[in-house]
Amino acid sequence: ILGSRSYSQDLLDHYEKPRNVGAMDKTAVDVGTGIVGAPACGDVMKLQIKVDDEGRITEAVFKTFGCGAAVASSSYATELIKGKTMDEAAGIKNTDISTHLSLPPVKLHCSMLAEDAIKAALADYKNKQKK
């Protein structure tokens, strides 16, 4: 997808050098896991967070099986949420990501996937605390 020169430097940078690729133990109590898919293209994104006692996200990792814009969106998303409280992370919008990466209109749903993945990871973490 990234053949065109019209893509932004930030986008190319995150695509070529994705940050925080990895996985954490899904069963750990302090880890929240979000797995989401985009029906339109079939791409899948897994984003995981580690949360400390004060409700702050200390670590974030991802694995994305999808297009370059989805990889870049999830990479940037992990950078964004690290160090934030859960409430702050919940407030992140896909437009925060797409604007920063200058995603073209056809790639907006890729950043939506990242927003959904953050929300799903937060929900999973909260669910675990109830048990």
> How many Å apart are CA 3 and CA 5, to the nearest integer?
7
Q: Which residues contact 53 (CB under 8 A, 6 or more apart)?
A: none
- Least Cα distance to 47 among 92, 100, 98, 2 occurs for 92
> How many Å apart are CA 48 and CA 125, to the nearest integer?
9
> How many Å apart are CA 94 and CA 113, to the nearest integer?
8
List the catalytic residue out of 89, 110, 112, 122: 110
Task: Tell me how many residues contact ligand FES (CB under 6 A).
Answer: 17
Which span sits near ligand FES by CB under 6 A: 54-62, 66-74, 83-91, 121-129?
Answer: 66-74
Smallest distance, Å, CB 113 to ligand FES? 5
Smallest distance, Å, CB 50 to ligand FES? 20
* 103 touches ligand FES (CB under 6 A): no
> How many Å apart are CA 108 and CA 131, to the nearest integer?
36
List the catalytic residue out of 41, 58, 83, 93: 41
Catalytic residues: 41, 110
Q: Which residues contact ligand FES (rule: CB under 6 A)?
A: 10, 14, 38, 40-41, 43, 66-67, 69-70, 76, 79, 100, 107, 109-110, 113
